[in-house]
Amino acid sequence: MNIAVTFRHMEATEAVKAYGIEKVARMQRFLRSPMKGQVTLSCQQDRLHSVEVDIHAGHAHFHAHETSEDMYASIDKVIDKIERQIHSAKGFVTAKKKGGERASVRLVAGVGKG
């Protein structure tokens, strides 16, 4: 797992860097292939903080960006977007498999009876 962090138009602080790396590293548990991540943190002139995340894992590519007044809030929001994209992509792959939806419904129904 490789995660690179880039700071633009702002001071590089270890706290923000560690927070961004920690949040992006959590996405590896949803992916099968080893992940490469690029996190770009920037500050615009209106004190708006912008975060952009690119994640590449095998053939899957995910990208999201968010802008808000708080850097930590921007990181949290962009991670939520990436997580939704990953879950959506996994649902698409499961639906494409022959009988994948029927099998998942049977498994979920069987869990409550046990």
Residue listed under structure tokens 């129904």: 109
pLDDT score, position 77? 97
Strands of the sheet with 49-57, listed across from one edge:
2-8, 35-43, 49-57, 60-68
pLDDT 10s digits, 45-62: 888 999 999 999 999 999
pLDDT band at residue 32 using 50, 70 and 90 as cut-offs:
confident
Global confidence as pTM? 0.79
Average pLDDT over residues 95-107: 63
- pLDDT for residue 95: 67
Average pLDDT, the chain: 87
Name the percent of the chain lying above pLDDT 90.
Answer: 66
| Model confidence pLDDT, tens digit, residues 7-22 | 999 999 999 999 999 9
Give the per-residue pLDDT at 45.
82
Distance set, CA 63 to CA 10, 42, 58, 59, 80 (Å): 22, 16, 14, 13, 12
Q: What is the pLDDT of residue 91?
A: 78
Tokens read off for 18: 């560690």
